[in-house]
Amino acid sequence: MTTPAGIDPRGPRFAATITTVLLLAATFLGLIGISTARTDGGISAVNAATLVQRAIDPGFLLTVVIALLFLWSVLSPATAPWGVVFRRFVRPRLAPPTELEDPRPPRFAQGVGLFVVTIGLVLHLVGVPWALPIATAAAFIAAFLNAAFSFCLGCQIYLLLQRAGILGRAPSAA
């Protein structure tokens, strides 16, 4: 009997739990940092802040780390930190999974997370107020849905694009 190809669906959920905590912290730091600060005149401090000040903002720096973790998960899921921690320390303590899942949708979801936080990072650097906490909050919501309810928003987007013949497989000739 051969083992079906796929990944333990609890692994991406474990990673989403850690990512949720990181994104919550990044959103909080973005809300109290330079991204949303106001000067006395009501002019956004982001516009007055230099590029260096925006780049060393703690919310920005944590979001860069999160983006790098997303990138790592997209480029090399087998070596991504949360997957390694799950496989080495968590999975051996659990019963075997009842079913395995296709690794492509969770990998695509990591790419969606990377895209969302990267947009927030770029907009923050160019001085768009609220861009960073909005982007991290959006990614937080998606990660929280996966962590708490096992609902992977990025996976659902992947499946919709797959059904439309845009991703994953060539449309049938029928």
Q: What is the pLDDT of residues 47-94, one digit of tens each?
A: 568 899 999 999 999 999 999 999 999 999 999 999 999 999 999 999
Stretch 127-132: mean pLDDT: 94
Q: CA neighbours within 13 Å on the CB side: how many for 11? A: 30
Residues 6+ apart with CB under 8 A from 142: 109, 112, 113, 116, 153, 154
- Start-end of H helices in the chain: 10-32, 45-48, 51-55, 58-75, 81-85, 104-125, 131-149, 153-163
The one-character DSSP state at 90 is I
> What pLDDT shows up at residue 169?
64
Residue 4 reports pLDDT greater than 50: no
d(CA 107, CA 113): 10
Residues 114 and 136: beta-carbon distance below 8 Å: no
3 pLDDT exceeds 60? no
- Dump pLDDT digits (tens) for 21-50: 999 999 999 999 887 765 444 544 545 688
Q: Are 24 and 30 within 8 A, CB to CB?
A: no
CA distance 13 to 128: 32
**Stronger pLDDT, 122 or 3, i.e. the higher one:** 122
Share the mean pLDDT of the chain.
90
Mean pLDDT value across residues 83-107? 95
Comparing 174 with 150, which gets the higher pLDDT?
150
Sign of the Cα torsion 119, 121, 122, 125 reads positive
- Please report the pLDDT score of residue 40 as a whole number: 47
Q: Does residue 1 carry a pLDDT above 50?
A: no
Q: What is the pLDDT of residue 18?
A: 98
